[in-house]
């Protein structure tokens, strides 16, 4: 029955984590998966999360009942407010349908299925390049996936003309997937002026924006600033979807906590939309897990705890920014050929180094620096102890 099944290739991102774990080399470095590590290369649990868990466990009313298909209501409204901001008119007018999801990936999967069943868009456009799972998630839901140009290797910046041209020729009703901040994998975001241009095309051509918000607070250390583009679209009347993850900004990777927000024209539509999204969830996994939703809502419901979480988040994003500076210094010190200033101009979790796939192989095979074959490195794998080693690995790989 199963004998014909072939071995699947390793996942390009999660596979690097497995390979890293198996490697016994003393100097190995994990630059693959986007998960925060301390300067001691250890996973980090936010103090605010530990405090929230303490409170949850001490709550005598706690039980392990099923959540509704839409998830925990307190979490949904707090998550929505964090994303869209206090005083958001769409929230006040009850026209945001929110459904708790299994982190960003689960939210995208529910969003994709919801769109396919209820909207059937002519195509879904994703940036080239993008997080690899974007393509497969939308394909899996039966959508036609196309790409819009995003990255210009010559300038190591955005190909804004290419992007606008492709969006201009997209069919009416096509979905345009946009990264809210800290674009994965390039670390390059549009400027506010470029967002204006993108928004104009989307509005004029009647396209549907779908935002992926995986790094709010991680890019700049400022939750408000990192939500700029979603708030701009929503406050200016856009009907759109947003997939929101708490994996990175609360360090809740394994708790799988996130949400899907669908911003509608009015309250009645939002109610209908939510009911359909609930059907999608019911048929996929019935209802979401409880613990992560409780953690996030305990943090977001208490202003003091929210504040201490924000301070920790800022410290984390600053450590990453510092590591960018340190890596660039080391590369300059070693006189590695080429211009490496993109290491510090890119933002967020990743740097898109520009290393070729052959050079990446050398990083992995000779230096035990696990990274993506497209040249992406997770900056959070770099610390004060290994930054010089990583720079030497890059030099050797470039000279190779």
Binding positions for ligand LMR, rule: CB under 6 A: 13, 33-34, 131, 184
Three-state SS annotation for 325-356: HHHHHHHHHCCCCCCCCHHHHCCCCEEECCCC
Strand partners, 242: 211, 261
Tell me which residue has tokens 């301070």: 311
- Tokens representing 321 are 């920014």
State in angstroms the smallest separation of the CB of 346 from ligand LMR.
14
Tell me which residue has tokens 């939002």: 270
Residue 226 designated active-site: no
CB of 184 or CB of 397, closer to ligand LMR: 184
CB of 13 or CB of 264, closer to ligand LMR: 13
Identify the active-site residue in 28, 131, 340, 367. Answer: 131
State in angstroms the smallest separation of the CB of 259 from ligand LMR.
16
State in angstroms the smallest separation of the CB of 191 from ligand LMR.
23
Cis status of the peptide bond prior to 358, with omega within 30 of 0: no
Residue 86 designated active-site: no
Reference 245, options 211, 291, 214, 222; nearest CA is 214
Residue 309 designated active-site: no
Closest residue to ligand LMR in the complex (CB): 34
Identify the active-site residue in 151, 159, 189, 212. Answer: 212
State in angstroms the smallest separation of the CB of 33 from ligand LMR.
4
CB of 33 or CB of 260, closer to ligand LMR: 33
Buried b (16+ CB within 10 A) or exposed e, 42-63: eebebebbebbeebeeeeeeee
Report d(CA 303, CA 308) in Å as an integer. Answer: 9
Measured in whole angstroms, how far is the alpha carbon of residue 216 from the centre of its chain? 8
CB of 114 or CB of 131, closer to ligand LMR: 131
End-to-end CA distance of the chain: 47
State in angstroms the smallest separation of the CB of 11 from ligand LMR.
8
CB of 41 or CB of 388, closer to ligand LMR: 41
State in angstroms the smallest separation of the CB of 247 from ligand LMR.
7
Identify the active-site residue in 28, 189, 248, 340. Answer: 248
CB of 186 or CB of 199, closer to ligand LMR: 186
> Residue 117, Cβ neighbours under 10 Å: how many?
15
Three-state SS annotation for 237-295: CCCEEEEEECCCCCCCHHHCCEEEEEECCCHHHHHHHHHHHHHHHHHHCCCCCCHHHHH
For residues 41 and 262, the answer to whether their CB atoms sit within 8 Å is: no
As annotated, the active-site residues are 131, 212, 248
């Amino acid at each position: 029955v199963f004998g014909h099944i072939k071995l699947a290739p390793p996942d390009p991102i999660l596979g690097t984590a497995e390979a890293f774990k198996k490697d016994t080399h003393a100097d190995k470095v994990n630059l693959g998966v986007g998960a925060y590590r301390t300067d001691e290369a250890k996973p980090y649990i936010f103090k605010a999360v530990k405090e929230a868990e303490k409170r949850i466990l001490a709550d005598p009313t706690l039980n392990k009942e099923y959540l509704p298909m839409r998830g925990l209501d307190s979490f949904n409204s707090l998550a929505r407010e964090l994303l869209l901001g206090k005083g958001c008119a769409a929230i006040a007018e009850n026209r945001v349908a929110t459904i708790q999801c299994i982190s960003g990936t689960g939210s995208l999967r529910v969003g994709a299925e919801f769109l396919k069943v209820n909207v059937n868009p002519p195509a879904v456009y994703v940036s080239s390049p993008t997080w690899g799972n974007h393509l497969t998630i939308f394909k899996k839901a039966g959508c036609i996936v196309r790409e819009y140009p995003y990255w210009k290797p010559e300038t190591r910046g955005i190909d804004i003309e290419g992007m606008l041209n492709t969006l201009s020729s997209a069919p009416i009703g096509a979905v345009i997937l946009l990264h809210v901040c800290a674009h994965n994998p390039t670390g390059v975001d549009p400027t506010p002026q470029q967002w204006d241009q993108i928004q104009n095309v989307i509005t004029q051509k009647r396209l549907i924006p779908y935002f992926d918000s995986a790094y709010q607070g991680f890019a700049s250390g400022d939750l408000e600033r990192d939500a700029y583009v979603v708030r701009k679209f929503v406050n200016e009347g856009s009907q759109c979807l947003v997939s929101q993850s708490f994996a990175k900004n609360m360090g809740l990777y394994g708790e799988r906590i996130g949400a899907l927000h669908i911003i509608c024209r009015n309250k009645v539509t939002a109610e209908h939309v939510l009911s359909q999204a609930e059907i999608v969830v019911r048929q996929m996994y019935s209802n979401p897990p409880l613990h992560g939703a409780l953690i996030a809502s305990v943090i977001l419901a208490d202003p003091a705890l929210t504040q201490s979480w924000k301070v920790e988040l800022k410290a984390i994003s600053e450590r990453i920014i510092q590591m960018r500076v340190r890596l660039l210094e080391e590369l300059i010190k070693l006189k590695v050929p080429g211009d490496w200033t993109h290491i510090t101009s890119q933002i967020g979790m990743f740097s898109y180094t520009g290393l070729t796939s052959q050079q990446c192989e050398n990083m992995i095979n000779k230096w035990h620096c696990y990274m993506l074959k497209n040249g992406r490195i997770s900056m959070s794998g770099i610390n004060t102890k290994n930054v010089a080693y990583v720079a030497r690995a890059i030099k050797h790989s470039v000279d190779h």
